[in-house]
Structure 1
Amino acid sequence: MKREHLQKWLNEGSTSIPNLLLKKYKHIGIDEAECMLLIQIHSFIERGNRFPTPEELSKRMTFSDEACMHLIKQLINKGLLKIEEHKDTVKQFYSESYSLVPLWEALVLKTLQMEDTVEKLQNEESTYTLFEQEFGRPLSPIECETLTLWIDEDNHSAALIKAALKEAVLSGKLSFRYIDRILFEWKKNGIKTVEEAHKYGEKFRRHSLSKPQSQETDKNKKVTYPFYNWL
């Protein structure tokens, strides 16, 4: 008798549940009830029933038929569950099935966004550290706010801000005002990467060197320089 029960239990098979769903479901805006309903639908699909009824789902859960139907509507409205229609060209009839593709896409997208956020925070932290190392002191609250504005409002990348800092150091003009000039000039000219900044600098230098410089006879006459002399 025990052997028969064991065989029956083995015949039930198993359902493969992605760990990503278990780890990230709250980050895509669903609760435990919605998550369990999705797992049940996933289980039905794996066993060949691609469109379980609310009654079938209710038998596996502690919710009524109506409650299951309500959860299904919620998930559809959230864009995490989709009902697809299929046409049988031979028998000429339509059938419906659930698709969990929107759920998997949402999980992957949220994971990538979270990874980007972590990377951004790490880059920002390293940027603050680099500035403090170059200035040889902790940054003031105003300087910290300026750095935040460059990142959040001006949308400068951490790499570009570091490149502007390097330009200021090489020019011997280490100040936030000077670095802000550099970033402003780059943004005005559509420069978004370090490589583009280097190319722009080389082009600017070649243009400056190609200008003929007249000999000044009056020693008291001031010599003028390009405004952005950091290049």
Structure 2
Amino acid sequence: MDQDMMVSWIEAGTIQIPVLLMQKYRSLGLDEKELSLILQILAYKEKGNVFPTPEQIAENMTITHNECSSILRKLVQHEMLKIEQQSDKGLGFDQYSLTPLWYKLAEEMMKERKQDNFRNVLEAEQDLYTIFENEFGRPLSPMECESLAMWIDHDGQDPTLIKAALKEAVMSNTLNFRYIDRILFEWKKNGIQTVEQAKIHSSKFRQKTKASKPTHSTSKTMPVYNWLEQ
């Protein structure tokens, strides 16, 4: 999700900010007093007061207005809060903007999402090595491990497509890395990006191969194998 899009949703009220802040404020480097002050600013904004004074904010908290002023300055210095000058019908006024905080919140959420994606990819890769070793019936050699890593890191192959290519090799009784690499190369050359596309492409290839064989041939043809089925 794009940061700007997330911030626009936040400012439009699509995303419930108090809930997100309660979950993420420590990750953003905020303490409980700073969080409470920010929530007070949000509450005043909902009531139409876009620039409450430190005295007004402190009335709803257990701090003095001097401490409130100090926290406000700190939030501005740490780019969690900024004061904007606005005008309405020729009259100028100040207002608090929490947009800098929303960007930090969006960045934190995207960082966590990337970490989750990385964790999922890592687990998929580890699962991939296990599947290959089970099919080959032995530990993979260093060269074979390097080939797997190259498919993922250099060629950008999806682990699910690599699994599908492995199944193709198994069904073709050609279980070796060179053959699997040829399958992956063929799929990439033809723009295959999903397992479903690979299934259709392989089916068409087998039908074409079967049709090109002489009708008097006694050799057995390779059956169309649905390697999507577990």
Q: TM-score range by the shorter chain?
A: 0.5 to 0.7
Distance 2:115 2:66 in 1: 34
User: SS where residue 18 of structure 1 aligns?
Assistant: helix
Further displaced range: 99-108 or 113-122: 99-108
Q: Unaligned 5+ residue runs, structure 1?
A: 1-14, 26-31, 76-80, 217-231
What is the alpha-carbon root mean square deviation over aligned residues? 3.6
SS of corresponding position for 2:78:
helix
What is the CA-CA distance between 1:103 and the residue it aligns to? 3.0
Q: Which whole-Å deviations, capped at 9, do the CAs of 1:62-83 have from their partners, x for residues lacking one? A: 7895x654422xx6xxxxx677
Q: Number of residue pairs matched?
A: 183
TM-score, with normalisation over the residues of structure 1?
0.64
1:16-95 superposed matches below 5 A:
17-22=21-26, 24-25=27-28, 32=29, 35-36=30-31, 39=35, 42-48=38-44, 50=50, 59-60=67-68, 65=73, 69-72=76-79, 88=88, 92-93=91-92, 95=94
Instruction: Tell me how far apart the structure 1 counterparts of residues 173 and 82 of structure 2 sit (CA, whole Å).
Output: 60
Alignment of 1:114-125 (within 5 A): 114-125=115-126
Q: Secondary structure at the match of 1:117?
A: helix
Counterpart in the other structure of 1:141: 142
State yes or no: 1:105 paired with 2:113: no
Q: TM-score w.r.t. structure 2 length?
A: 0.64
Name the aligned partner's letter for residue 150 of structure 2.
L
Structure with higher RCO (Cα < 8 A, 6+ apart)? 2
Q: Which has the larger radius of gyration?
A: 1
Number of the residue aligned with 2:203:
202
Question: Residue type matched to 1:142 in 2?
Answer: M
Change (3 A) 1:45 1:192: same
Structure 2: gaps spanning 5 or more residues: 1-17, 58-64, 218-230
